[in-house]
Amino acid sequence: MTTNILSSEEIKKSISWVIILSIALIVLGALAIISPMIASAFFTATMGWIALISGIVMVVQSFRSHPVRGFWLNLIVGIFYAVAGLYILFNLGAALLALTLAFGILFVVEGIYTIIVGFTQKAGHSMSWLVVLNGVVTLILGIMVLNRWPISALWLIGLYVGISLLLSGLSLLAAALAARKAMADAPPTEAS
């Protein structure tokens, strides 16, 4: 059995890269929060490109694996993905409206479900009130999105993506800095 033990220099280099990545995520998150309309359009266009490329790959793969069962299913699903991707790319406004409406409905359903779970399952026992609070906030957010729809389509997705990127970057930065501090506080080891 072999083990791959990283040297302290390799670990420090990895931590430095994680810090750079986390700072990039924080900057992108802040930019998305500052310009949520641009971020919404960019995110929606990215989803369109992902759907289009996935569809093309599925169609090509269906022909490459023709003797394998599922040829028609892969071909049809691939075509649908490609068409959906093209539709999103050529109709960003309509796609943005549909995504925002879907998010609003999702938040309402998730909020109601979370409130029910908080009361019936006593999730977290003494902390079940926090689960209920999460459900109430999610429900209110969903109602606000639906109440302001279609205007909310201009900012909602970009703002949420920005907040997510910002929080991911902050948590990643905190973990990397804690790892760097732990490395600095650790006694030096002797090389065998």
Are 108 and 143 spatial neighbours (Cβ–Cβ below 8 Å)? yes
Q: Which domain holds residue 65?
A: 11-183
**Residue 192: what pLDDT?**
47
Residue 187 DSSP code:
P
Q: How many domains does the chain have?
A: 1
78 falls within a domain: yes
Average pLDDT, consecutive stretches of 10 residues, N- to C-terminus, the chain (192 residues): 67 85 91 89 90 92 75 86 93 88 87 84 65 82 84 80 82 80 71 48
Position 23 scores a pLDDT of 92
* pLDDT at residue 3, as a whole number: 57
For residue 154, give both structure tokens: 């201009």
Asked if residue 150 has a cis previous peptide bond (ω within 30° of 0), the answer is: yes
Torsion angle of C-alpha atoms 176, 33, 131, 116, degrees rounded to 10: -140
- What pLDDT was estimated at residue 190? 53
**76 domain residue, yes or no:** yes
- pLDDT of 136: 87
Instruction: Give a yes or no: residue 159 inside a domain.
Output: yes
pLDDT value of position 85: 93
* Percentage of the chain lying above the pLDDT 90 cut: 19
* 114 in any annotated domain: yes
4 occurs within a structural domain = no
Q: Decide if 189 is inside a domain.
A: no
Q: What is the pLDDT of residues 44-68, one digit of tens each?
A: 899 899 999 999 998 988 887 766 6
Residue 81 lies in a domain: yes
Both structure tokens of 66: 């023709």
pLDDT of the residue at 2: 54
- Residue 167 maps to a domain: yes
Task: State residue 56's pLDDT score.
Answer: 94
The Cα-based distances of 171 to 21, 83, 87, 124, 178 in angstroms read 12, 37, 36, 23, 11
Report residue 44 as tokens.
């929606």
Helices (H), 65-127: 71-90, 92-120
Q: What is the pLDDT of residue 53?
A: 95
pTM of the model: 0.63
